[in-house]
Structure 1
């Protein structure tokens, strides 16, 4: 069977691929990175589409942590924005270590939940792209790697994250489905990670005093073996059995 990979973007793109593909969700700054970091540190993670859903879901959990942003701003009465650096720091505090996390974001959680119902929904970032690609390649012949995007822009960090996943899949025998996928692969093949500081997302994080999340992301490249996967209303470690083995 022909194995193929396609790169696309924006939350609504998931609807094009739900019937025949496994979908990999990429939102490097910062949803995907925060999710992978939280799971790696032992948290349970529940994604939602808006703040109302966050409070409703939180009401069903014991001592939940409400995490995220809408329009770049942390919602009122949330515990923290979707900061992977802060997530890592909070998990080192004993009273914070195992609180379940409810997370919402402007684009990443929207894309993730739009993808629900596809063959499988996985979450990738620059911390775990090799693990996600290898896991997906063992199970699926058609894989859509989707960047979250924002304000009509396929952000450079998500382009690079998608390309890193796709490169691994191509090395495992997959072929790019579209010309756009081929173009992105060529564009980002030898990219310097530092270029991510200079996109709109990077500039926003710098301007708003959140550059620690850029530093955290760039200092944690392909360092996690975990594969986050959406099952019902929770993001779990899909390859947990493999890690134990």
Structure 2
């Protein structure tokens, strides 16, 4: 069948892809950006699918930093929100981070249950595509979605990775994948500033995270794999050989 790529959305869509597929989880605002940023800084990161999982994961770590939100609200007892800007502002990199979000961490954890899975964001679109093109023939790039909608920023990120794979000889699995790639090809990152996720950040006084997302585009050269409950950095240069 050759190399194929699909763009999809929502955690429920993970079930459409068996273990022969590699899944790239995307939640630009904000879970995968927060997770990737933490690991890029040298902090360990443990995404969890639900608040009930936090205690179990925390019991195996020393002085973990609890980061996250559910429905936009930081859970009781957590230290910081699901915020890449807040992660960058901290100097306690030695503390492993447990990350919880409404959709993004659920998607990543579900994808990694029986498949090769990565977390991607606008910081590493090119690196992610380059790595996949060398190693994986069946790729599903899945946006987390929010409130039943495939958000603009996730569409842009998914489309960016998929477009680069199409240029490497992959075939789109369906017309929807083609349409999303065509819609976002050549688009400006400023286009996501009018999306609902961006509007939410502005409305709730969290513009620092929107500014962070818009100001960090393809500035990382690694990929971030979800393995045994932890997000880990992998070098594209080493693995592409």
TM-score bracket, normalised by the shorter chain, equals over 0.9
Superposition pairs for residues 2-13 of structure 1, below 5 Å? Answer: 2-13=2-13
2:84 aligned with 1:81: no
Determine the structure 1 residue equivalent to 2:204.
208
8 Å CA contact retained: 1:21, 1:118? no
Q: What's the CA shift for 1:106?
A: 0.5
Q: What's the CA shift for 1:18?
A: 3.1
Superposition pairs for residues 87-236 of structure 1, below 5 Å? Answer: 87-90=87-90, 93=91, 96-236=92-232
Gaps of 5+ in 2: none
Large movers: runs of 4+ above 6 Å: none
Gaps of 5+ in 1: none
Tell me, in whole angstroms, the C-alpha distance in 2 between the residues paired with 1:119 and 1:101: 23
Deviations 1:75-101 (A, max 9, x none): 1110101111111111xx2xx122101
Determine the structure 2 residue equivalent to 1:58.
58
Tell me, in whole angstroms, the C-alpha distance in 2 between the residues paired with 1:194 and 1:56: 40
TM-score normalised by the chain length of structure 2: 0.95
Tell me, in whole angstroms, the C-alpha distance in 1 between the residues paired with 2:238 and 2:84: 25
TM-score normalised by the chain length of structure 1: 0.94
Deviations 1:103-136 (A, max 9, x none): 0110001111111244410111000011111111
Q: What's the CA shift for 1:241?
A: 7.8
Q: CA RMSD in A?
A: 1.6
8 Å CA contact retained: 2:130, 2:236? no
2:43 aligned with 1:47: no
Count, aligned residues: 240
